[in-house]
Structure 1
Amino acid sequence: MKSQPRLLTHALFQHHLFTPTGWSEHVVLIFRNRVEAGRLLGEKLRAEGFEGPGVKVLGIPRGGVVTANAVAEVIGGQLDVVVSRKLRAPFNPELGIGAVSEHDALFVNWEIVRELGVSQEYLEGEIEHQKGVVRAYVEKFRMGEPLSLKGSVAVVVDDGVATGATVIAAALACRRAEAEQVVVATPVIAEDVAPLVSRYCDKLVYVLKPVVLYAVGMYYEDFSEVTDEDVLKLLSRLRRAG
């Protein structure tokens, strides 16, 4: 068994989780917050050889940008955003059936779409709606500048991956933006989702890969909401420093 990152040793907690055989008590590792998670993820990336100013660290707004900033500080990379939006299932907006990102990148989980009987009309409408949201966020967070990654190593960062849709769409966007290499990095990813995400990137880097991941927030002590204003303040501070 591989040793756990040293900074996580404080974060041993008992969680009561519902499993197919009933409620069970599991000892799990959790992060204090997105910043600590990002620092640990940065250490993992550095150990894999991803560091220096040639690495673009792309946080998925909103929470992923906080994590990405901590990653960038550890590896010395350049922080930016890559906007990716979940496609919501009808009657259950928390359930993702795919995602759209910049450069018209699109990922649809056709298995879920078929299982739910999602109509073509609904799917097309949701895609167009979320594309509009992507454009609005690009305008807000990058002043409308298109994502440009030619010749760079792009590290897509989110604060956790439960279904994989948003990071996959973001990885596809990075390909279209001509990144030389695309890495997906996250503090925690569901074990059954990791192989799917790996098919869409050159390298998948993570800190934790639990069998059970009902919600990303269960692996954080503090998973407070991150607002648009929080992201804007962080980006504007970096731009002034640069």
Structure 2
Amino acid sequence: MYFTDRKDAGRQLAARLGTIPDAVVVGLPRGGVPVAAEVAKVLGAPLDICVVRKLGVPRQPELGMGAIGEGGARVVNEYVRQAAHVTNAQLAAVERAEQAELARRAERYRGGRPPVELRGRTVVVVDDGIATGFTAKAACRIVRQRGAARVVLAVPVAPAEWRDGLRGEADRLVCVHEPRGFLAIGAFYADFDQTTDAEVLDALLG
């Protein structure tokens, strides 16, 4: 195990990041938000969310074939989609379902509050780990669209080759542990219980 829980992961990640002037930290709900909250505390930066939803293969939803996010961001891995024989109609159906959940979460977590202004600032995008990289890629594109001058993608754990699919999406890629033989993010946490909506709101409201 590398981390006791997400808060411990956030503190270790913050130490790896160092000082970042004029930063905004955005966490990917749900699991990335407790990590991001610890990073924001150490950096003395405001905390916001970046709502992204994985597009799972029908009948095998744990297998990601892409992701969508706020502002119309969309990433689809055609190799995975075609290998899983997912039709255009099936992909569209998955997107509709995830778009509804994305809107629900954005409303639930923001509660009518406006997003933190990102224009011209360094934005640190944080999740609790990377497996496929689809959601991280969508999140980086979202904050670019919102005017981030510089994007830092930061995670506690990711596969050894994780940078290969994300070059060009962020200006800086930061990871605490990059193990080989990567199976699942949760394998590197002693406590990896599902983060609740209430925990996300507590972190955002400070």
For the aligned pair, the TM-score class normalised by the smaller chain equals: over 0.9
Alignment RMSD (CA, Å) = 1.4
The answer as to 2:166 corresponding to 1:197 is yes
Matched ranges for 1:1-242 at <5 A: 30-46=2-18, 49-50=19-20, 52=21, 54-144=22-112, 145=114, 148-236=117-205, 238=206
Native 8 Å contact 1:104 1:131 kept in 2: no
CA distance in 2, matches of 1:83, 1:187: 19
Q: Which has the higher contact order (CA 8 A, sep 6+)?
A: 2
Structure 1 gap ranges (5+) = 1-28
Name the SS for the 1:94 alignment partner: strand
Q: CA deviation at 1:234?
A: 2.1
CA distance in 1, matches of 2:138, 2:115: 16
Q: CA deviation at 1:146?
A: 5.1
CA distance in 2, matches of 1:40, 1:76: 16
Native 8 Å contact 2:5 2:191 kept in 1: yes
Native 8 Å contact 1:43 1:75 kept in 2: no
Structure 2 gap ranges (5+) = none
Q: CA deviation at 1:176?
A: 0.8
Name the SS for the 1:67 alignment partner: helix
Q: Which has the larger radius of gyration?
A: 1
Q: CA deviation at 1:193?
A: 2.6
Query: TM-score, structure 2 length as denominator?
Result: 0.94
Aligned-partner residue type, residue 122 of structure 2: V
CA distance in 1, matches of 2:31, 2:165: 22
**For the structure 1 residues 146 and 104, does the alpha-carbon distance in structure 2 shift closer, same or farther, using more than 3 Å as the test?**
farther
Q: How many residues align?
A: 205
Query: TM-score, structure 1 length as denominator?
Result: 0.81
Q: CA deviation at 1:182?
A: 1.0
Runs (4 or more) in structure 1 with deviation over 3 Å come to 144-148
Q: CA deviation at 1:166?
A: 0.7
Q: Percent identity?
A: 38
CA distance in 2, matches of 1:152, 1:137: 25
